[in-house]
Amino acid sequence: MSKSKRLMELMMTVNRKRKFTVKELAGEFGVSPRTILRDLQELSELGVPLYSEVGPHGGYQVLNERVLPPIAFTEDEAVSIFFASHALRHYHFLPFETEASSALSKFYHYMSGDVRDRIDQMKNRVDFVTPERQSAFPYLAVLLDGAIRQKVIRIGYASRSGATTTRHIQPLGIYASRGLWYCPAYCFEREDFRLFRCDRIGSAVIEEADSAPKPLDLRHVHLSNWESFIDRKPIYVNCTIELTPLGIEACEGEMLRHFRLELREDGSGLLWGQIPPGEIPFLADFFIGLGREATVTEPPELISAIKHKLTELLDKYS
């Protein structure tokens, strides 16, 4: 085996192992311990973060900041990966903001000149627009870490009225929608699953105190199925909205939860589903914004909320 191939396979091997000894690697690669020591020194100089321990139970291990082995991409694969990451620039807050910027710069730097030229030409030709938000989301990394490691997090959470309460939550993950970040989590104070807006989280600390709630085993609960595990499901009411073709376009772009869309041959459609009463104020504002493109036929509570808001607007501008 050539030295370059051995170094490549050695890099992949040490990245897979949590701990290893020179003797083990020497036997695995069929070379002397002295040769393995030289190879490990070269890997260290290439950026593989190796840590050595002396003593009878000593050996080597790779620190958490592991360096991935080289991966061969085609030109089109490299360009698509670059722009997938480049699209995240519209989000001013990410759970891996610094790392994403560093990876993108490194990725671009090591591309060949002609591929960089192609990317430079495409930067002003391709974009993935995300609504600009003034809200701050400083605790995304903490929430994501808590979800992955199944940890309880103590947060300060502000309600719509502005009152702040302390909650102990176990996050299930985070997701972005229309420029905002959300975190479904189990709330120990409410003893049920809840959805938290991340810009309303004023503090977030992983709870290590003995008095803190013990983490639950929520490995089977994730972003795709968490709502089915809600114990205290709210009372739902039927909701139906007639839509013009322009109304359909607006609703598709908003991806409204709880609804299904039926299209007709003339381009109009029917939006229907069941909604919790707590969403009526939001839906009233949304369908008022659609004007003549949407007509709510039920529930009466939503129709009343729309009339009330329109009356307030008329009074404001009278």
Tell whether the model's pLDDT for residue 285 goes beyond 80. yes
What was the pLDDT predicted at 70?
Answer: 62
Q: If you classify domain 237-317 with CATH, what class do you get?
A: alpha beta
What percentage of the chain carries pLDDT values higher than 90? 44
Q: How many helices (H) and strands (E) does the chain have?
A: 10, 12
CATH number for the region 3-62 comes to: 1.10.10.10
* Residue 107 pLDDT > 80: no
- pTM here? 0.66
Give the tens place of pLDDT for each residue, 223-278: 999 988 887 766 889 999 999 999 998 888 675 667 899 999 999 999 999 888 88
Task: Please report which confidence band the pLDDT of residue 133 belongs to, taking 50, 70 and 90 as the band edges.
Answer: confident
Given the candidates 1.10.4030, 1.20.1070, 2.60.40, 2.30.30, the CATH classification of the domain at 139-229 is 2.30.30
Instruction: Please tell me the predicted confidence (pLDDT) of residue 67.
Output: 58
Torsion sign, CA atoms 223, 228, 231, 235: positive
pLDDT of residue 200: 95
Is the pLDDT at 125 greater than 60, yes or no? Answer: yes
Question: Angle, nearest 10°, between helix axes 113-122 and 75-86?
Answer: 40
Q: What residue spans define the domains of the chain?
A: 3-62, 79-124, 139-229, 237-317
Please report the pLDDT score of residue 275 as a whole number.
87
**pLDDT tens-digit profile of 33-91?**
899 889 888 888 777 778 777 665 567 777 665 555 566 677 788 788 888 777 777 78
